[in-house]
Amino acid sequence: MSTSVNKVTLLGNLGQEPELKTLTAGATICNLSVATNEQWIDEKKGVQERVEWHRVQVWGRAADACSKYLNKGSKVYVEGRIHTRSWEDKEGKKQWTTNIVATHVIFLDGKKASGDPAPEEHRSQVGGGR
């Protein structure tokens, strides 16, 4: 029997406002764009930085909470798994996209529209996933 692990951990900031959608079956999904950055010193003693962007999908009640309490720039901790899907475009060419399907999201500085802090229960794990 073989064993495998598909687990992702991210700590980053939202690059845009959360996008909440309700699917025809009634399920809710919130798409997040999370930026992580890496810094290092190059051989000339200069500081270099690279930003990596991650597409994160949050499902169900957690999706609703993300939409309500997160904003562009919010700091989040995300645990989830990598999910790649493929399809054919209009020209019949195969396309792929890779997303992180969140199982847990922790709001590190989420705010309501009024500027009030998010309720305590939304600062803890609001996982679910699909």
Mean pLDDT computed over every residue of the chain: 87
3-state secondary structure of 74: coil
Topology given in CATH for the domain delimited by 8-36+47-123: OB fold (Dihydrolipoamide Acetyltransferase, E2P) (2.40.50)
3-state secondary structure of 65: helix
pLDDT of 73-113, one tens digit each?
A: 999 999 999 999 998 999 999 999 999 999 999 999 856 55
pLDDT of 19-32, one tens digit each?
A: 999 998 889 999 99
**Pick from 74, 82, 83: nearest CA to 106:** 74
Instruction: Report CA dihedral (57, 60, 63, 68) to the nearest 10 degrees.
Output: 170
pTM of full prediction above 0.85: no
43: DSSP letter: T
User: What pLDDT, on a 0 to 100 scale, did the predictor assign at position 120?
Assistant: 43
Sign (positive/negative) of CA torsion 118, 114, 109, 128? positive
pLDDT greater than 90 at residue 119: no
User: What pLDDT, on a 0 to 100 scale, did the predictor assign at position 117?
Assistant: 60
Q: φ and ψ at 60, to 5 degrees? A: 70, -140
User: What pLDDT, on a 0 to 100 scale, did the predictor assign at position 1?
Assistant: 74
